[in-house]
Structures are given as structure tokens and as C-alpha cells.
Structure 1
């Protein structure tokens, strides 16, 4: 044997020994290890479970709950497959409605059904059949873990027996009869419907933006914390809230401004206990005689609008303007502190001529539609007044002591990252910075340049650094600040636009100044070769591989398709937020 052959053999023996040592830690003997291997090999040959992709929920908790209950139509497809030839369309809709909302539907049925026992008998048989169908992709062990403890044994027996089997027909029928005769039919139906809902979705993928605009982001996070089988690719609005929780004052101001813009204080006040009284007091004292016309809240729908009196709308508008000015000051200070981010041009407060009522933008002078700036010092427009500093301190404290907010941020970190790869699908929320020629663009993070997969990984680790007590204060400070860059930085993969035109939209009427030019990813992602290059760079393999994004609503009314780049790219922002419903 040559020395080289000997070394290779010794290496193989050492590797085999290490594998055996690791197996010995989990399995007492060869039989136990073999059983697990057989089990895993068998699982690999089961059909893939249903993956559910959702993006840009934006606090719309009722819509989110509904799509979880109906699995975005997957349950109705199953019911139609099973009963399409034996039930009328109306009956199929009624059964699906029962599966989605069993408690409410049963209450209606009990009040109107004359032959309740027959209804229970027929419905239980149908629900068992649906349950058998949605569970067929899973092992018995996995199904068993989804069953409610009080009915687990009975449901399992019914799911794995067939009423058409002559030997078991009496057994099966007697179980159903006993459920009804003991008065447990309602509870059992509810349990079955919940099992069907759970098994209809194997893994929930959320491509970012749980927060902002809608009223129930905290409710969505409560659902997810208990849901278990989900992953999230963080979006720009998620990063904004994570930054606010970390103590980034720019992020806090943006969170408050967006909440006030959409008249949505429920998540802040009811969800996380953020005290809005100091801001309301400051706004009334500072802008009490200001009509704040440009800052009236955007309220979707007549019903919502009727919920606010003119007085309350005016208060929201004044609070909105107050926090917007504070935000612009804080952001100008942050941009000066980090010149490497190239955001100094966002300090437009310093370009205001109060006497002329104008602002200079890109060398051109524009008239301002609002010239009431009582807290701006012409000598130092971005300096905070003592009252503004005190207000920001109170708000920072309110965010920092919210246990529920911190719990939800922990949940985001435990189940999320900047990108994910699942079954030949590359998931990320918005963008991957590209050059004009379609190559990966290098972006500086923590003094070094990264691109592609390395960039998203580094950003994810930096975000975690802000909450890492083992890191130095300097490292945590940079990580906290970086959340703001992720929100509005030109090369941020969560933003990727030329600018965030917050000032322009509020204070300049010329719509040409409001334009936020999208980065090269958004211009090139419809090309199949660009998507293939990105998928190759991330090591995504498979005949049917895809990139899946959210972030930009698909305007179906304008003929846009969610399927692009010859099927390589899918955009799944369906417009949960009511603010998008008109498009």
C-alpha cells in the first residue's frame, strides 16, 4: 500500500468512527439506528406537504386569519375533488364555510336545522373524509402531533379506518353515533375542522412586511408565535419595527409617522402599550393653531372614516406633522454621522428658505405648500428643541419597556432571516442589489463590501448584533443605526430605490419630485438569464427553481402578471393592505 493510499484509508476509518460516535449519542444500538434510517428514507418518498406563501400582510389580521383558515383556497379544492360529483356547489360552499369558521357556522345551523342528528351524522362522515385527504401526505406520527389531546384517539381511529370496509363498518358507525348521542358532536366537529386547517398547510412562508398600515400586526404576531410551522424573510417594515425595538430613534419616528398617517394606533397602543399621550400633548402645544392639511390621516373606506370625528382627525394630523418634523431632523443627524451611507442629500430641512417659503432640491427652487415650522432654528434647522428631545426620550423608553414587542421581535429572529431556500425556491422580500449589467453589486456593511448571498447573510448577522449583549457597545450602536439604512438606503436590499421622498411628498406639490427610481434588480428581474444567475449564486438547484418576492404589489387591474422571467420569478404581493385595494 502506498503512503497516499494508506492516508486515504486512515481518513475514511476516522470519518466512519466519528459518524458511529455521533450515532451512538442518539441511538442505543444498530437496530434503533436502522429503524430511524428506514423511517427517514420512507418520509423522503412521501408527497411534499403543501407550502403556503404569503407576503406583505401589513397588519391586516382578519384577512390573514381567513387565508390561514382556508389555506388560500386549498381546502375548497380538496373538498371539490372529494365531493364534486356527489354534492351541489352550494353544499360544497356550506361545508367549506363550516371548516373555516366551525364555531360561528354551527351556531347558525343549530338555530335553523330541524334534523340536527342527521346533519351531524352526514357532516362527520364528510369531515373525516376531508381529514383523511389532507393528512395523506404526512406520517402518522406527524398527524398525531396535530390532533387535539381530548379527541386524539377517536380522530386517529376514524382517519385510519374505512366505513366501506365490511369488517369495520359497524365499528366506524358506532363511533359516530356515540359522538352524537353523548352531546359531543359540536366539539368534535370543531376539533376536526381545526385539524383540517392545520394539515392543509405544512409550512407557512411569509415574505416580509407583517407590520404597518393595518391595525393588527400584534395580533398576527400572536398567531405566528403559536403557529410554529412558519418562516419569515424580513421585509423593510419588519426591519423598521426591529430597529425601533432596538432603540433606533429614526426607526421609532418612522413607525409613529406611518401609524398616524393611516390612523392606525391600535398596534402601538393596544398591542404594545406605547404611550402616545406625550406626543399628543407636544403636538397640541406646538401645532395647536396649524390646520395640518397635508397631514390628515389616510383612511380607507367610508366605515373607517365615520369612526373619526373631525376633532380626532385634526389631533392625528397635528401629531403626524410633529413626528414627521422630528423624523426629518433625526434622519439628517444620522446621515451626517454615517457619511459612508451617502444619504446627506436627504437633509432638506437645511435647504429651506423660511422667508421665501421655498426649498432647493437638485439645484432647483420649489415653493413649499406648508411654511409653518415653529421648531426649526434657521441657524441650525436639524437641531432638536428641548421639548423634542424630552419627547423622544419618553418614546424611546416606551418602546424599550414593551415586553410584548420584545417577545415578537424574538419570534421574528427565531423564525426569520434575510432570505430562505426551500424546495428549490429562493425567497427574499424585495431586492438583491445589481449593477446595470446585471452583475451583483457590492454594498458596504461594517466597513467591508459584500454582494449577493454574502451581502444578505452579513446584513442578517448585523441586525442580530443590535440585540446581542455579548457584542461591544460600538458594534451594537452601528447595528442599531444600520436598521435605518435598511429602511431607506439606496443600496439596501429591503429598499433599493434612488431615495425615500418623504419630505417631497409632504411639502412639495410638484409630482416629479416624488419619484423614487427603482434599482436595477427591479428593472432586470424579468429577464430569465438574470434570475438564473441569481439562483446559481445562491446555489439553488432543481429543474423547477424559482425566485419568489413580495414588496411590490401586482397590479392585476393594469394587466400585470405575478409570473415573470419565463416562470423563474414569482411576485406574490397581493395587496393585503386596504391602502392598496384600489390598485
Structure 2
């Protein structure tokens, strides 16, 4: 043990070779501990709504507007404040319009630059100079630092700052400088972004969102069931591939696959048009899609039906291959009476809404036809070979996981599976039993195995586990007793559509159960929170996203347009800054064009979930705890230098 300690001290002394360097680092770290805690931003269930996502990211869920209010108070009109906020969100686009309307651009540049510099100063006040420097654009780093730094030794400060700004304008760099300042304000207003699941499905631009996240300065992602579905598809799992294509077809978003990822769907389209030529496919109408010609719509509904039937067959094969999943009840094709067009479920006979099944062999209902096999083989190769999709999934693997504990908050997308009495539910995964945190961790390990395992059997298990996570009742990301896909397409009776939620959702107001979940993940009940999404909060029906006196925050409020009729709003987001937790409820986003032209922000009603008595500092955070440990180690090194145990390296 002593030998290990000495080796560690020797290594540390290579980084800090003298008493002076070790002392200076301790002073620097102590200073950082007393800075205000940086702002965290939480979003969930984005579901491909890239325009609304991009805007909320730019405005920091109202954080930038609050900064402007703090800086200018009553000295600026509300309209001028909104105009400045819009400029910060969309500097290039906004200046294009201002240039056409403003008769004296030089005066506008001066006023705008002064205002942006003041907002910039406030935004940067909670960071070290070192961190600020790293965030500054290379071309303007020195100038920005001069303008935001107080110059005690300059006698005529106003003249000094005016001369810099005048030079920026005279050299025709004002617009570039405004863009640079706006981007710095956006970058530093929110220090860290949490995505609590479901980037994919329903909306038109998940691939655009992924490109933005890859470029983001600091982000973590807790996978949602839709994200894991796409991960499974990227790994070549056929059940996941079929589901991904079916959902894209259902919401009229097949161009995500074709244009966004370059997946060739022509073989599926050709097959669907030939197989269902005279079939109206009325049960497979598109959801919420507009702008399609009659011919395009006809092709998409036929593709929708074709891939759905393939999905039911492929899933039947997965269930047979994995008896341990105990999903035999979800194999429904062999319960169909093809002659009479009915199906028997739980002893009751139902009439099918669609009775045309030309590709199903009643003797072997889960066998793919030769054409279907060829289509799935091509699709599997296409998903595995798509470089952009693989890049996006690697990013999810690198930045993500099934849960995260961060600054006393427990983040996960769905639920912790519970028994009816509120105790942790035991779940068998490939012969071993897990519950709570251990269940999350074993499922995450299998997701990673699906991509990286060298053992073929384990890799195959990992792939199938991604499909399991998507729809199994014991999956913490699904949390319902069944996924009634077949029933919703083919049966009119609503009782067959019902998907019963895990008891977890009944215990969200039970403090004893919530504290038990927090303790399971290593968090004390006091001052900690669960942040999750997955199930939209029905705001218009009076449901609150704040559960258990603020210990649980369910922030899925309908970012996806498909949910907004049900929720009444367009999503919740959460801000955690040095003053506490702020929950923002957003109105629907009109468009980027309207945001620029009309200066229409997303109207947000903010609720303070928790306000701290003393402003939180870096020392109160996870990073602060790491810094304190480094200070302890450096103090130990300092003592070793002074006692002659370690020699300075001068």
C-alpha cells in the first residue's frame, strides 16, 4: 500500500514538480469551488422535432431572456429586449432583415455591440477566465476579452472601449463580431445539456438533432426506448429494423431513412405496390402527414402495411428463438382464422378490420416469403453499412447510457420496474435475476455487447436485448404490460388496445417508494430528485409534472406534435442553475421563420420547483467533489515536499 502511495505521489509530482506549482494549483482550485454553479438544461422526448429543439437549445428554455432582463431591467422596453434575444438566437438571419430596414447601420452596430457586451459580461461571470477563453472564437478572442474585462489601470475607460468598438465597425467586422458574441452567449448561458431519452421517431428530423448534439460542447444522453430501437436497427437486429421502418412509414417520415441516412427503400416500395396493388390498406393510414400527392400517399400506406406484416413475422421468429423472454402471448398470427377473417384472443373472437393477408401461410404464419427475406437481407446490410447512422449510434453509446446520477439528480427515461406493492421487481435476463440499479446496468451492458462483443453468442444476445428493451413489460424503458401494435391496426375494440402501465406510475406520489428508488441508486432522499420522461403529462387535464412534493419531475409534456392534442402544451424543459430548479412549460413552436421575422419566442410559463437559500457553488456539485479530492491530493504532495519525502524537480 505504501509503495502504491509513493508511486502515486511520484506521478503527481511530475505534473506539479515544485512547491510553488502545487500551491498555485491549490489556490486556483479553491477559487473555482467558490464560483456559482453552472447551469444545466434538461430536455426529453424530442421525437424528431428539430426546429423546436433547436430553438429551445438557442434560448436555453428562457435563460437568455432572463439574462437580458437581469442586465437591463427597466432601462429597455420589452420589445427591444425581445429583439435583442432574437438577434442572439439567430444573429445572421436577423441581421439580413435589419440591414434591409435600418437606415443608419453604424448607430445600430454601436448600440447592439454595447448591449451584447453587457449580456456577455453577465453570462461569463460564473466561469473562470480559462474556461471563458476556451469558449471564445479564435478570430475575436483577444478583442472580446478586452471588452469584457474591467481595466483598472486605464484612465479613460469609456474612450478605450469606444475606440475598440469603432475600429470593429470601421474595419467592416461588426456583423461577424455580433455573430461571435451571440454564439458565445448561447454557449455559456447553459454549461451542460441532459437529453433524457427519445430523440428518435414521430418527428421529421432526428438525424438533424443528432448532428447538432454531436457538435454540442457538453452533453449526456439517457437512452429512450425509441433510441434503443434505432440502436438495435443499426446493429442489424431485424425486429428493430422492421419497427423503425414501420414507425417512419406511419408518421410519413420515410425520407428520414432515404434522404437523412441514405437507406434504399425501393425494394420494399416495389414489393408493397405489387403485393397490395388492389388493397386500399385503410388500417394503415398515415398519421399527421401533409403535403403528399395521392400517389405518394398510396405508396406509403402500402409500404406501411408491407413492413408491418414483415415485422409481425420477424418478431415471431425472435420470440421463438428466445423462450426466456416469455413473449409467446405476443405471437398473434397463428390465432387468425384466415377463412373467416377473425382472431381469437384470451378466449374471445374478434372480427379483423383488414382480412387481406396474401403473404401469410396459415401453416407457417411466421415464415417470410422469398421476397420478404430478400428485402430484410438488403435492409439489414443497408443499416449496418450506413456510415452516418453508425456514427450517430456510436455517439449515443459514447455519451449515453440507461441512467445517470448527476449533481444529486437521478436521470432515466422511463421507470424502475416495481411490483404491485411498490417493491423492486425481479427480472430474469438470460438465466440470472436482476432488479433496480442492477437491472439497468445489465441491460446497458447487453446494448454495448450488441455492438462490440467478440463472442458471437453474446453479440447476438445483445442485439435481441435491444428489441426486448423496446417492448418488453420488464423493460425500464417501456414499462407497460404489452405493446398492442397488432391490436391497434386490426381490431376496433378499444379494450384490446389497452396497455397497462407498470405499478411505478402509481407510486410517483409515494415518498417512501421514491426514497427507496433514490437510495437504490446511491442517493439520499433529502435534496435529490428523479428526472424522467417517456409518458406525456396531460397538462390540459390538470396533471402536474411535479410529483411527490418535487422529488419526481416528469418532463415529457408533448415536444412531439403527435402528443400535443393530448397534453395541451409543447413540452416541459428543466433548468438547474445556482439558484435552484426551474420548470418551463412551452407553447407550440410556430416555425424558425416566424421566430426570426415576428421575433416570436416560444412562450414559456416557468415554475420554480426549488429555490435554494444559499446560492449553490461549484463546490456543491459533482465536479466540486472531484476538485476537493484533487486539493486533498495536492495538499498531501505539498506536505511530502516540505517533509523531504519527495524532492522538488527544479
The TM tier, using the shorter chain, reads: over 0.9
Shift of 1:25: 4.4
Q: 1:6-155 counterparts in 2 under 5 A?
A: 13-14=2-3, 16-155=5-144
Q: Does 1:261 align with 2:250?
A: yes
- The 3-state SS of whatever aligns with 2:350 is strand
Partner Cα separation in structure 2 for residue 164 and residue 430 of structure 1: 57
Deviations 1:320-378 (A, max 9, x none): 00000000011111111111111111111110001111101111111000000001111
Deviations 1:277-329 (A, max 9, x none): 010011011111100001111125xxxx2x10111111100000000000001
Q: Does 1:433 align with 2:417?
A: yes
Partner Cα separation in structure 2 for residue 385 and residue 488 of structure 1: 25
Determine the structure 1 residue equivalent to 2:146: 157
Structure ranking higher on relative contact order (CA contacts 8 Å, 6+ apart): 2
Do the aligned residues in 2 keep the contact of 1:424 with 1:542 (CA within 8 Å)?
no
Q: 1:182-261 counterparts in 2 under 5 A?
A: 182-261=171-250
Determine the structure 2 residue equivalent to 1:5: none
Instruction: Show structure 1 runs of 5+ residues with no match.
Output: 1-10
Partner Cα separation in structure 1 for residue 315 and residue 150 of structure 2: 65
Determine the structure 2 residue equivalent to 1:552: 535
Partner Cα separation in structure 2 for residue 440 and residue 25 of structure 1: 48
Deviations 1:234-293 (A, max 9, x none): 000000000001110000000000000000023211111110101001101111110000
**Aligned mate of 1:319, from 295, 303, 311:** 303
Shift of 1:30: 3.5
Q: Does 1:563 align with 2:546?
A: yes
Shift of 1:574: 2.5
Deviations 1:177-224 (A, max 9, x none): 111111111110011001100101100000011111111111111111
Partner Cα separation in structure 2 for residue 396 and residue 336 of structure 1: 20
Do the aligned residues in 1 keep the contact of 2:518 with 2:525 (CA within 8 Å)?
no
Partner Cα separation in structure 1 for residue 151 and residue 201 of structure 2: 49
Deviates more, 1:552-561 or 1:542-551: 542-551
Shift of 1:117: 1.3
Partner Cα separation in structure 2 for residue 441 and residue 327 of structure 1: 29
Partner Cα separation in structure 1 for residue 452 and residue 10 of structure 2: 34
Partner Cα separation in structure 2 for residue 488 and residue 167 of structure 1: 68
Partner Cα separation in structure 1 for residue 369 and residue 205 of structure 2: 34
- The 3-state SS of whatever aligns with 2:451 is coil
**Aligned mate of 2:504, from 506, 518, 521:** 521
Q: 1:298-447 counterparts in 2 under 5 A?
A: 298-299=287-288, 305=290, 307-447=291-431
Determine the structure 1 residue equivalent to 2:513: 530
Cα RMSD over matched residues?
Answer: 1.5
Deviations 1:114-133 (A, max 9, x none): 12111111111110110111
Do the aligned residues in 2 keep the contact of 1:526 with 1:565 (CA within 8 Å)?
yes
- The 3-state SS of whatever aligns with 1:84 is helix
Work out the number of aligned pairs and report it. 566
Do the aligned residues in 1 keep the contact of 2:48 with 2:206 (CA within 8 Å)?
yes
Do the aligned residues in 1 keep the contact of 2:515 with 2:525 (CA within 8 Å)?
no
Cα 1:33–1:558 change in 2 (3 A) is same
Do the aligned residues in 2 keep the contact of 1:52 with 1:205 (CA within 8 Å)?
yes
Partner Cα separation in structure 1 for residue 151 and residue 525 of structure 2: 38
Instruction: Show structure 2 runs of 5+ residues with no match.
Output: 567-650
Do the aligned residues in 1 keep the contact of 2:324 with 2:430 (CA within 8 Å)?
no
TM-score normalised per structure 2: 0.85
Do the aligned residues in 2 keep the contact of 1:216 with 1:266 (CA within 8 Å)?
no
